[in-house]
Amino acid sequence: MADQTSPRREVFSTRIAFLLAAIGSAVGLGNIWRFPYVAYDNGGGAFLVPYMIALLTAGIPLLFLDYSLGHRFRGSAPLVFRRIRSWAEPVGWIQVGIAFFITIYYAAIIGWAGLYTVKSFNKAWGDMPEDYFMKDFLQADASQTVSTEIVPQIAIALALVWVLAIIVMAMGVDEGIGKISKVFMPLLTVLFIIVVIQALFLDGAAEGLNAFFTPKWDALRNPTVWVAAYGQIFFSLSVGFGIMLTYSSYLKPRTNLTGTGLVTAFANSSFEVLAGIGVFAALGYMATQQNVPVSEVATSGIGLAFIAFPTIINQMPLGAVFGVFFFASLTIAGFTSLFSLLEVVVSAVKDKLDLPRKTTAVSVGVVMALISLALFSTTSSLVTLDIMDKFTNNIGIVAIALIAIIVIDWILRRTNEFALHLNAVSSFQVGTLWRICVVNLTTIVLGYTLMQELFTLVSKPYGGYTSTQVTIFGWVVLGIIVAAAFALTIVPWRGSLSLVGPPGSDFGIDSDLQRTITRPRKYAPEERRAAGFAAEQKSDD
């Protein structure tokens, strides 16, 4: 049976540690290799209009909601939803399951980027980057559903990624994630700015930037462009599947949640635009060298990073230096996101079983590492990764974000409570407009996006893969996530379920400030600050 007192929870020692960790989570591989092509393919410069609208009406409001959930109920995703209502706990475990599967394949891409950082010194891919990547590097065999043939260099790199990730997790939230973010994020910024500057001085860079920024205003009449904008925001900000919720549970009681959220959101979007400039400047150079339009070389994802960019590196002056910086940037961006994904799983297990941090980090990390190595160090890894990525991102994240909103507001009507909590600790106040964006607008957009994705995936096998491959690594994975969520809900809680005192009372604040948080019956927008702990405490920093 759970204890009746809340144990002391880990905490980020400074606001900057949390801020850099949150930005590091949001700034990942998708910012570099997904956003530039999505923007180019959906109206170029005109895409920035729906993108900014999506950021302001969905991304930032959902980020605020995640922050308020984690900070208000001080726990991992399952614990937060359990504290909201006992029957809502599976929602949190589904978020954990999605993070689990994304983590095990995300680590593989980081391993590839790390290897390519080393290979950039001598341009090991030679004159045929595509053949090298597919045949020599991955030794890809798309005909096999599950391969047992290990690719040694991939296995070694992937193992090293997991060793580093487990060490950081075992060190703790502040000593591990917080301190490594203080090193990795400034380093990533410097490296990527160097990459962008070098790309801007290449011949043909202007043509690439024209292709990227030239607005196609007619595209704004196409609903798919708006769906793409909202989709990019959902995927890039790490909202809706436990990451920001978990991170915010480690914040001090008096933390400016909305101010921090605004900085995180705009820093993420700024990096995406910076990535678009760098990527398309380089693609413009590639198009000039091949004497073809930019449209013929524009691509995204794995093909952009591991095929197009090695081709560019071969052709450009000081290509080896550019390659080292580019792939090092990918590696660092990947790691900062990996830590946040892994923390969702580690935190949930730690809360549920009431285990020490190091024990949980090592146990969970080793299990996930073994699964990751079994699936993604073999010759069938690319097929497995592509299908799993499609289903967990385009179906899993969208579905659980929609379910969470339905549970929190449409069923439980708790959104006003979280507005009060945000306003009690934050400089930027939220009210009716925030609630409309979170409850109404995002419900419509997420519902439409989910239906569109389901229709596409049901109508024909994804990516030309066999039905068996899509079923096992797509639909079955989603089924495992849901089944595991309900199974884990049945497991008794060994950790505390009680929540006595204001947010942060388990950090050791004065006993006279501790009192039960009650659910407000009605949200009053005219109340600038909720009566309670926030007005009575001194600033922590």
Q: Is 367 helix (H, G, I), strand (E, B) or coil?
A: helix
- The verdict on residue 482 lying in a domain is yes
CA distances from 4 to 7, 133, 283, 471 (A): 9, 55, 59, 44
CB 166 within 8 A of CB 361: yes
Reading the block at residue 223, the tokens are 């609903």
- The verdict on residue 292 lying in a domain is yes
- The verdict on residue 503 lying in a domain is no
- The verdict on residue 28 lying in a domain is yes
User: In b/e form, how buried is each residue of 57-83, taking b as 16+ CB within 10 angstroms?
Assistant: bbbbbbbbbbbbbbbbbbbbbbbbbbb
- The verdict on residue 284 lying in a domain is yes
Q: Count of domains in the chain?
A: 1
- The verdict on residue 518 lying in a domain is no
Domain that holds residue 214: 15-490
Q: What does the pLDDT profile of the chain (541 residues) look like in tens digits? A: 444 444 578 889 889 999 999 999 999 888 888 888 888 888 888 999 999 999 999 999 999 999 999 998 989 999 999 999 999 999 999 999 999 999 999 999 999 999 999 999 999 998 888 899 998 999 987 777 777 889 999 999 999 999 999 999 999 999 999 999 999 999 999 999 999 999 999 999 999 999 889 998 998 988 888 988 888 888 888 888 899 999 999 998 888 899 999 999 999 999 999 999 999 999 999 999 888 888 888 887 788 889 888 999 998 888 899 999 999 999 999 999 999 999 999 999 999 999 999 999 999 999 999 999 999 999 989 999 999 999 998 899 999 999 999 999 899 988 888 888 888 888 888 989 999 999 899 999 999 989 988 998 888 888 888 889 999 999 999 999 999 999 999 999 987 777 655 544 443 333 333 333 334 444 444 444 333 333 333 334 3
State the alpha helices, DSSP H only, in 291-356: 301-303, 309-315, 319-353
Give the count of beta carbons closer than 10 Å to the beta carbon of residue 454: 14
- The verdict on residue 531 lying in a domain is no
- CATH number of the domain bearing residue 283: 1.20.1740
Give the single-character DSSP code of 407: I
- The verdict on residue 464 lying in a domain is yes
